[in-house]
């Protein structure tokens, strides 16, 4: 046993712990074009009779015709970066989400003879660029990372971007993925047109002037209307961003939230409810050249240490407060400061993110302060050891029927815990129960247990969405596990 002694050294032990954990987490979940698990490894995704990796539009229409002829369901898969089981074939929920293999809802679909998973991630690339209109058309499986490269070549950029770039463009818009900035909408608002292969194999193009109901219904459609094969996006001139970070208390935030939200084009908050510390990021376009002295290697090491510490904290939730206080103050990624960088560098977090469960609610902006106060009070009352950084972002109103931001600017509150599954489940339920009274809509790509009885009152266009689903997919060919829960009353899945 003497050779184990060095490992017990108080300096070496935490390093070994972090290294061991990193190796444990790094197994490949991507099988070629197909993610076999979702990002969080909660849901197994390839649990179907067959898996198809289309290389052409003909492959896709043939696959749909085959499914129709053999009475099979189709689940469309992007990069598997959703926490919600919107990529889990209907009736096939398994993995950590439900170890007994039970489904989340009762199938009402006429489709009953097994299922096909259609992996779209390799159906990717540039279709064309309209330089005058600054519009770019890409195939549905193009990842956001590939999109950045394409846009860069044409000196273009997007006004809005989420925190990571692994998602496919069709997957991102399908769940209402957003960035931050109340003068901008979510990513779907950039969409000028989509090409959609519907349940009978028809190739349909929908834009603001033609098939507009399909555009507004099916763009944030959670894969329920068919396969989005092409997306045309409104881009803009490439730009740099000046970003500034300051640390304030939650009381200062509550007293001045409106002013903070309006203080820059892009505003986001990283906070920890337990400590009451809030890191405010304000960013604006600038003509200044890049000046960013952050060291990527140092930041990555910092994040590994962060992960090691929050892992330890998960066993001692009472230590969360002092440890998170320390982390917020001293982690380089969060340190108060400023920089100028490219638009995608500022919007993306290009680092290893510790794998965790996550939920998110969009409350009308007018209720943002009340909602943030409610969550902080809940954490205090229930003595939840919040061992992570929560993120709050702001999104402008839009017209997409099942958008979290339909008709109102919103404050998106993202909540997460690390390695505390049971606590997270009850925390999520309590947050959901409280925030729904403030009009909160759950992010379609994140964890939520809301069913149709609640959801339908949150979306004025709910019935139109259901009617469009019945029209374009009457047999429920494109249904997933999450849809069985979310539409449990209207019998569309
Ligand atoms: C680390 C991480 C960071 C994230 N950051 C953000 C963020 O900053 N902002 C935010 O809003 N969200 C964020 N998300 C959530 C994420 O953007 C969404 O869940 C997104 O839908 C994932 O895209 P995907 O390509 O992985 O799609 P998948 O998860 O594979 O699929 C999502 C939905 O899209 C459908 N779909 C996929 N491709 C197609 C297609 N071609 N045609 C029709 N339907 C299709 C699927 O059927 C499914 O319903 C993050 C997720 C992770 C894991």
Would strands 115-119 and 50-52 be described as parallel, antiparallel, or unpaired? parallel
| Nearest atom in ligand 1 to 353's CA | 1
> Does the structure show a pLDDT above 80 at 63?
yes
Stretch 407-434: mean pLDDT? 96
| Nearest atom in ligand 1 to 196's CA | 42
For ligand 1, atom 44, the nearest C-alpha belongs to: 223
Residue range(s) in the chain whose domain bears CATH number 3.40.462.10: 240-448
The tens digit of pLDDT for each residue in 301-353 reads 888 888 899 999 999 988 999 999 888 887 766 677 899 999 999 999 877 88
Per-residue burial over 361-371, b if 16 or more Cβ lie within 10 Å, else e, is bbbbbebbbeb
Whole-number pLDDT of residue 102? 41
What does each C-alpha distance from 21 to 373, 417, 419 come to in angstroms?
34, 17, 12
Alpha-carbon distance 473 to 479, whole Å?
Answer: 9
Q: Which residues pair with 392 in a beta bridge?
A: 269, 413
> Do 260 and 280 contact (CB within 8 A), yes or no?
yes
Whole-number pLDDT of residue 14? 54
Tokens of 258: 């409106």
The pTM is what?
A: 0.92
Mapping DSSP to helix (H, G, I), strand (E, B) and coil, where does residue 377 land?
helix
**pLDDT, the chain, mean:** 90
DSSP conformational letter for 290? P
Q: How far is the CA of 446 from the centre of ligand 1 (A)?
A: 9
Tokens of 312: 């330890």
Task: Please state which architecture CATH assigns to domain 126-237.
Answer: 2-Layer Sandwich (3.30)
Mutate to test the pocket of ligand 1, among 175, 355, 441 (most ligand atoms within 8 A of CB): 175
Nearest 5°: the CA angle 151, 137, 267 is 50
Q: How far is the CA of 402 from the centre of ligand 1 (A)?
A: 15
How sure is the predictor about 258, in pLDDT bands with cuts at 50, 70 and 90? very high
Token pair 């300096």 in the structure block, residue: 11
* Percent of the chain at pLDDT exceeding 90: 78
| Nearest atom in ligand 1 to 81's CA | 26
451 or 111, greater pLDDT: 451
Sign of CA dihedral 5, 10, 14, 15: negative
Q: Which of 356, 276, 292 is nearest to 324 (CA)?
A: 276
Domain 240-448 bears CATH identifier 1.20.1510.10: no
In this structure, the residues whose C-beta lies within 6 A of any atom of ligand 1 are: 39, 76-82, 86-87, 120, 140, 162-164, 167-168, 170-172, 174-175, 177-178, 222-223, 227-228, 353, 445, 480
Residue range(s) in the chain whose domain bears CATH number 3.30.465.10: 126-237
Nearest 5°: the CA angle 258, 262, 265 is 150
Q: Which of 446, 447, 455 is nearest to 426 (CA)?
A: 447
Mapping DSSP to helix (H, G, I), strand (E, B) and coil, where does residue 278 land?
strand
> Do 92 and 103 contact (CB within 8 A), yes or no?
yes
Q: How far is the CA of 167 from the centre of ligand 1 (A)?
A: 6
The tens digit of pLDDT for each residue in 199-253 reads 999 999 999 999 999 999 999 999 999 999 999 999 999 999 999 999 999 999 9
| Nearest atom in ligand 1 to 478's CA | 47
């Amino acid at each position: 046993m003497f050779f184990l002694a060095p490992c017990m050294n108080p300096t070496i032990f935490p390093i070994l712990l972090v290294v061991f954990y990193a190796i444990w987490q790094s197994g490949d979940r991507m099988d070629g074009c197909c993610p076999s698990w979702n990002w969080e490894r909660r849901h197994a995704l390839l649990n179907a009779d067959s898996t198809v990796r289309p290389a052409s539009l003909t492959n896709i229409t043939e696959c749909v015709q085959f499914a129709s002829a053999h009475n099979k369901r189709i689940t469309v898969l992007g990069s598997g970066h959703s926490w919600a089981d919107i990529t889990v074939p209907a009736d096939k929920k398994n993995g950590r989400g439900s170890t007994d293999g039970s489904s989340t809802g009762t199938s009402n679909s006429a489709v009953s003879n097994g299922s096909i998973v259609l992996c779209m991630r390799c159906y990717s690339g540039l279709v064309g660029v309209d330089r005058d209109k600054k519009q770019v058309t890409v195939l549905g499986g193009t990842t956001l990372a590939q999109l950045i490269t394409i846009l860069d070549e044409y000196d273009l950029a997007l006004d809005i971007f989420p925190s990571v770039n692994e998602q496919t463009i069709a997957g991102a818009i399908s769940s209402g993925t957003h960035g931050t900035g109340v003068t901008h909408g979510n990513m779907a608002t950039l969409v000028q047109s989509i090409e959609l292969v519907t349940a009978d194999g028809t190739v349909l193009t929908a834009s603001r002037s033609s098939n507009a109901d399909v555009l507004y219904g099916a763009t944030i459609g959670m894969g329920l209307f068919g396969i989005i094969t092409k997306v045309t996006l409104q881009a803009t001139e490439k730009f740099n961003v000046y970003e500034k970070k300051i640390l304030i208390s939650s009381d200062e935030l509550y007293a001045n939230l409106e002013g903070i939200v309006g203080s820059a084009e892009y505003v986001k908050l990283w906070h920890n409810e337990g400590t009451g510390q809030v890191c405010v990021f304000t960013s604006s376009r600038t003509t200044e050249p890049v000046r960013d002295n952050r060291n990527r290697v140092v930041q990555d090491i910092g994040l590994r240490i962060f992960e090691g510490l929050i892992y330890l904290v998960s066993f001692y939730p009472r230590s969360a407060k002092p440890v998170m206080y320390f982390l917020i103050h001293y982690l380089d990624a969060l340190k108060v400061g400023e920089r100028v960088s490219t638009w995608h560098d500022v919007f993306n977090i290009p680092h290893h993110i510790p794998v965790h469960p996550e939920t998110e609610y969009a409350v009308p902006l007018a209720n943002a302060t009340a909602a943030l106060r409610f969550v902080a009070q809940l954490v205090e009352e229930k003595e939840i050891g919040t061992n992570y950084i929560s993120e709050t972002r702001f999104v402008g109103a839009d017209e997409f029927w099942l958008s979290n931001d339909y008709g109102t600017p919103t404050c998106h509150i993202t909540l997460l815990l690390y390695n505390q599954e049971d606590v997270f489940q009850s925390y999520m339920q309590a947050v959901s129960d409280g925030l729904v009274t403030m009009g909160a809509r759950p992010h379609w790509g994140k964890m939520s247990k809301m069913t149709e009885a609640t959801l339908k009152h949150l979306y004025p266009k709910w019935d139109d969405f259901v009617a469009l689903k019945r029209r374009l997919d009457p047999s429920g060919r494109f249904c997933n596990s999450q849809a069985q829960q979310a539409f449990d009353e209207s019998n569309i899945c």
